[in-house]
Amino acid sequence: MTDVLIDTDLAGAMAETAAAVDETLGRELPEPDGPAAQLYEAMRYGALGGGKRLRGFLVRTGARLAGADDGGALRVAAAIEMVHAYSLVHDDLPAMDDDDMRRGKPSCHVAFDEATAILAGDALLTRAFEVLADEETHPSPAIRIELVRALAEAAGGLGMVGGQMIDLSAQHEAVDFELIAVLERMKTGALIAFGCEAGAVLGDAPAALRAMLRAYGYDVGLAFQIVDDLLDVTGEEAVLGKKVGKDAAAGKATFVAALGVEGARREARSLVDRAVARLDGFGPDADALRGFGDYVLQRRS
């Protein structure tokens, strides 16, 4: 799954988590059956069969650091990947980014139709909250409510969806560095930050550990988005599984547009350095998060 030079332990852990998250997703998504079978098929198409499961990996890693149960962490990992899959399905629609390819295969609305893709996204989003609210995720109702609240905040108008709105409105506007940082933190950083702090919620960890994981996630999440912008300029379609060169063609406000390729690379490096410095004081248990920072900078897909 990983195509860059990272520590073999980290590569193995990421591959193992991707398989475990896929298995949990397969179990938690409805099987295509009955009169709404096409919807369930489209949900599975959008969520399964591809995806690096990075957000799921962060949930599981944070949960280990906080001493939380791995079974619950895998359910939260599946929930965050459902929300992420919904965002991709909707983002690919003609009214948004209008992308025909995703994860190396036709986008959901191409494989099915637009109405089915909209409904599949809606149902993935709502299923994610159903999974979090189930007592199998954690026996404490207070912890389940906090997971639901925090994911809703990260995914909603003050997070991912709000970031997408600014992104669409800022097209063809003069490049404003501060606005780009705000929109990219909302669009991509907020969900990744939730992924990092969710383990602390599950483990009922001290507030300081939760705050540290969240801050790490925000910085790594922004670096992740900057690298995504860079890959749109420097990446290969076959490796990425989607078209490149779309941001510039659409006049998108990105870090590359604001800072140039080298400036954007430096910004991503400095964000990862800051994120990893936050882990000082944590022992080898935090090594996966340290290595993940390098992975974000080196990734090619």
**Which residues, 233 to 292, sit near ligand GRG by CB under 6 A?**
none
- The full DSSP string for 189-204 is IHHHHHHHHHHHHHTT
Q: 3 in helix, strand or coil?
A: coil
Answer for which of 44, 103, 127, 252 binds ligand GRG (CB under 6 A) is: 103
- The full DSSP string for 236-253 is -HHHHTS-SSHHHHTT--
Q: What is the DSSP letter of 286?
A: G
Nearer to ligand GRG by C-beta: 134 or 236? 236
Nearer to ligand GRG by C-beta: 91 or 153? 91
Nearer to ligand GRG by C-beta: 187 or 278? 187
Answer for which of 188, 220, 222, 290 binds ligand GRG (CB under 6 A) is: 188
Of 229, 221, 276, residue with least CA distance to 252? 229
Residue 225 engages ligand GRG in binding (rule: CB under 6 A): yes
Answer for which of 24, 87, 116, 137 binds ligand GRG (CB under 6 A) is: 87
Question: Nearest approach, Cβ of 276 to ligand GRG (angstroms)?
Answer: 19
Q: Going residue by residue from 128 to 147, which x/- string records binding to ligand GRG, judged by CB under 6 A?
A: --------------------
**Which residues, 23 to 82, sit near ligand GRG by CB under 6 A?**
51-52, 54
Nearer to ligand GRG by C-beta: 156 or 206? 156
Exposure string of 72-103, with b = 16+ CB inside 10 Å and e = fewer, is: bbbbbbbbbbbbbbbbbbbbbbeeebebeebb
Query: Which residues share a beta bridge with 102?
Result: 105
Residue 88 engages ligand GRG in binding (rule: CB under 6 A): yes
Answer for which of 6, 15, 48, 96 binds ligand GRG (CB under 6 A) is: 96
Nearer to ligand GRG by C-beta: 98 or 204? 98
Question: Nearest approach, Cβ of 219 to ligand GRG (angstroms)?
Answer: 15
Task: Report the DSSP pairing between strands 105-106 and 101-102.
Answer: antiparallel
Q: Cα–Cα distance between 123 and 51 in angstroms, integer?
A: 19
Handedness of CA 194, 195, 197, 202 (dihedral sign): positive
Is residue 256 within 8 A of residue 230, CB to CB? The reply is: yes
The identity of residue 152, as a single letter, is A
| Cβ-proximal residues to 154 (8 Å cutoff; 6+ apart), any chain | 160, 190, 191, 193, 194
The identity of residue 61, as a single letter, is T
Nearer to ligand GRG by C-beta: 160 or 253? 160
Q: Going residue by residue from 148 to 167, which x/- string records binding to ligand GRG, judged by CB under 6 A?
A: ------------xx--x---
Nearer to ligand GRG by C-beta: 145 or 249? 249
Residue 107 engages ligand GRG in binding (rule: CB under 6 A): no
Answer for which of 7, 69, 91, 98 binds ligand GRG (CB under 6 A) is: 91
Footprint of ligand GRG (CB under 6 A): 51-52, 54, 84, 87-88, 90-91, 96, 103, 160-161, 164, 187-188, 225, 228
